[in-house]
Amino acid sequence: QSTIDKIAAGEVVERPSSVVKELVENAIDAGATAVTVEIKDGGISFIRITDNGCGISKEEIPMAFLRHSTSKIKTVEDLLHVTSLGFRGEALSSIAAVSQVELITKPADALTGSRYLIEGSKEVKLEEIGAPNGTTFLVRNLFYNTPARQKFLKSAQTEASYISDFMERLALSRPDISFQFISNNQPKLNTAGNGNLKDVIYRIYGRDIAMNLLEVHTECEFMKVDGFIGKPVISRGNRNFESYFINQRYIKSSLVAKGIEDAYKLHLMQHQYPFTVLHLTMDGTLLDVNVHPSKMELRFSDGKGVYEFLYESLKEALEHKEF
C-alpha cells in the first residue's frame, strides 16, 4: 500500500463521520430513496451503510476503488454542471486505504450480486453472491493501519455525536429520503421519506418544537425560501438551532443567519435567536460552493441582495402572524 494513498486518505477521511458522510452521499448520488446507517463504538470499529440505489456491477467494483476514478464526470463540460454531491473520485480509495471494507452490491438488472473485500488498499476477494438490489458498505476498524491518526479520534461517544448531528442535518436536507440511524443497536433516528419537512423536525426535535412553528414560503426573481421558523416561545440564546440549506445542502452562512435574525429581532423587539429549518433554492451559478472541500461555507455573487430578500420576506412572514 502506497504512502500516497494513506496521505490522500487523510484529507478525505478525518474521522468516522467523514466516512459516513462520503458513503451516504454516494448512496444519495446512486438514487437511493432509503438509507440505513448503523455504527458501533462511534463508528471506529463498525460502520454499515445500506442503500436501495442503483448498485455497482461486478466489473466496475475494482475501478470504483481507484483514486480519481469516478463515474460522475466523463467530460470537461460535466465539471461545469456537477449536481451530484461527490465528484472527486477519492472517497472509496481513501476509505479502503485506512480500514477493512466489505462491499455487497447488486444493480437491479444484474442476475447476481457481488461481494468485495479490500483491506488497507489491498484487494482480498471479489465473488458473486445473492444480494438484494442496492449497496451495503461495511467499514471496520478505521485507522487500524495508521495508529497516528487513531490518536486524533475522540471518545466513541463524541464520534457518535458527530455522526448523529450529521444524520439529523441530512434528514432535514432531504425529507424525500428515508433515513435510519442506529448506534450500538439503539435506533436513534428514523424518517419516513415522504417529503414532509415538519414530520422530520418532529422526529428530531420533538413535539414542543414541532407544535410551535410558522411555515415560510416566499420567493423573488432569484431565490426561494421554504421551511419553518419557531415562534418566540421556542426562541434560543444561541445559533445552535438555526439550520439552513441551499439547494438541499446544509450550509453555514452568517449572512443568511443575519438576514433571518434581524427580521426576527425587529418583530420580537429584543435580541433572541430563532429556531429555524429553512431551505433556500437558487440558481447554482449565483453561488460558489467549492470555497471549502467540505462544501459548508459558501459565497454569494450578490450577498447584499440575498440578505435583503431574506430580511424583507421574513419580516413580512412574521408581520401577519399572531403568536
Binding site for ligand ADP (CB under 6 A): 22, 26-27, 30, 51, 53-56, 64, 70-72, 86-92, 135
Q: Which among Mg ion, ligand ADP, none contacts residue 27 (Cβ within 5 to 8 A by kind)?
A: ligand ADP
Can you tell me whether residue 23 is helix, strand or coil? helix
We find the least distance from the C-beta atom of residue 26 to Mg ion, in angstroms, to be 4
Give the nearest distance from C-beta 56 to Mg ion in angstroms. Answer: 12
Strands of the 276-282 sheet, one edge to the other:
213-219, 223-230, 276-282, 242-246, 249-251
Residue 80 corresponds to which cell in the numbers above?
461545469
How far, rounded to the nearest angstrom, does the alpha carbon of residue 246 sit from its chain's CA centroid? 12
Task: Return the number of the residue (93 or 253) whose C-beta is nearest ligand ADP.
Answer: 93
DSSP-assigned letter for residue 273: B
By CB under 5 A, residue 12 contacts Mg ion: no
Q: Which is nearer to ligand ADP, 32 or 234 (CB)?
A: 32
SS3 assignment, position 30: coil
Q: Residue 21 or 149: which CB sits closer to ligand ADP?
A: 21
261 binds, among ligand ADP, Mg ion, none (CB under 5 to 8 A by kind): none
Name which of Mg ion, ligand ADP, none residue 175 binds, using a CB cut-off of 5 to 8 Å depending on partner kind.
none
Instruction: Give the one entry of Mg ion, ligand ADP, none that residue 263 binds, where binding means its C-beta sits below a cut-off of 5 to 8 angstroms depending on kind.
Output: none
- CA neighbor of 174 nearest in space, from 17, 19, 13, 32: 32
CA distance 320 to 279: 21
Member of 91, 142, 189, 263 binding Mg ion (CB under 5 A) = 91
Instruction: Supply the minimum distance, in Å, between the C-beta of residue 317 and Mg ion.
Output: 37
Query: In sequence order, which residues have a C-beta less than 8 Å from that of residue 148 and are 6 or more positions away?
Result: none
Residue 158 CB contacts under 8 Å (≥ 6 apart), including other chains: 42
Least CB distance to Mg ion at residue 25 (A) = 6
The grid cell for 62 is 475494482
In the three-class reduction of DSSP (H, G, I as helix; E, B as strand; rest coil), residue 158 is classed as: helix
The CB-of-32 to ligand ADP minimum distance in angstroms stands at: 7
Figure out which of the listed residues 42, 43, 53, 86 binds Mg ion, where binding follows CB under 5 A: 86
Q: By CB under 5 A, is residue 280 in contact with Mg ion? A: no
139 binds Mg ion (CB under 5 A): no
Residues 259 and 278 sit within 8 Å (Cβ to Cβ): no
Binding site for Mg ion (CB under 5 A): 26, 86, 91
